[in-house]
Amino acid sequence: MQGNTILVTGGGSGIGRGLAEAFHALGNQVIIASRREKVLSETTRANPGMISYVVDLQDAAALRDFAAKVASDHPALNVLINNSGIMRAENLKAQPGDLDEMESIVTTNLLAPLRLTAALLPHLKKQPHSAIMNVSSGLAFVPLALTPTYCATKAALHSYTQSLRYQMQGLSMEILELIPPYVATDLMNGADDPRAMPLKAFIAEVMSILKTQPDAKEICVESVKRLRFAAESGSYEAVFRGLNDAMTKHPH
């Protein structure tokens, strides 16, 4: 919780900014990265001492160069939070042939965290203590049919995180997965949706879990457990149908 140098992708807005500010308030050195310079500047101005880098997470070469630069500029870097993500509604019945938007979602949500993890892993393995936190979603476990590619990328990230955790056994490295519910952010224009969990409440509960449950590998606030454990509880079909019927009838 303290004494770390933490890199947060997508740290200029939404959940990324909430996490960055929470760790910054605890005295950690926090670095945020995004391709949107405006939101990065707004966040660093509001949080003196926070550092930002502009990087296009969809550009594989730029991501490799960024990883090398941030590790060189901040040799104490020991925590990576892969948070950046984009979510789009997709009509699969009328899908365009070029698939540009679908591929953009896959690149940002899945390829970028895999690439950045691979690029920074040699550096993180050298640290006395390190951690990687991948931000997936409750929709990795029960998909929202309106956003099929987003849900698929988060399911893949969950699977990857499990494999990464197993392969890193024996190292002084924690592999965590943060599984958000529907949180009030600008993702899919949900900031003003009363059905969404308020961002401040979500961040507060996440930080409490991290503080009081240091051995937790999956960080689940109470409101996401219905999705996360739908299959285990035997309620998957009901939860899937309830989620998708509700969003079909009352999209935000």
Q: Domain-by-domain residue ranges, the chain?
A: 5-224
Among the listed residues 53, 150, 160, 182, the single catalytic one is 150
More confidently predicted of 189 and 74 = 74
- pLDDT for residue 29: 98
The third-level CATH classification (topology) of the domain covering 5-224 is: Rossmann fold (3.40.50)
The whole-number average pLDDT for the span 3-10 is 98
- pLDDT for residue 247: 81
Q: Are 30 and 56 in contact (CB under 8 A)?
A: no
Q: Taking Cα atoms as reference points, which of 180, 97, 110, 102 lies closest to residue 148?
A: 102
Please tell me the least confidently modeled range out of 90-99, 136-145, 211-220, 228-237: 90-99
The whole-number average pLDDT for the span 234-252 is 86
- pLDDT for residue 113: 98
Q: Are 221 and 181 in contact (CB under 8 A)?
A: yes
Residue 42 scores a pLDDT above 70: yes
Residue 100 scores a pLDDT above 80: yes
Q: Are 171 and 125 in contact (CB under 8 A)?
A: yes
Q: What are phi and psi of 79, to 5 degrees?
A: -135, 130
Question: Is 160 considered catalytic here?
Answer: no
Quote the percentage of the chain above a pLDDT of 70. 97
- Cα torsion 171, 72, 203, 249 to 10°: value is -100
More confidently predicted of 250 and 44 = 44
Residue 250 scores a pLDDT above 60: no
- pLDDT for residue 167: 98
- pLDDT for residue 246: 87
Element (H, E) at 46: helix 37-46
Residue type, 238: A
- This prediction has a pTM of 0.95
**Buried b / exposed e along 4-38 (16+ C-beta atoms within 10 A):** bbbbbbbbbbbbbbbbbbbbbeeebbbbbbbbeee
Q: What are phi and psi of 126, to 5 degrees?
A: -80, -15
How far apart are the C-alpha atoms of 146 and 225, rounded to whole Å? Answer: 21
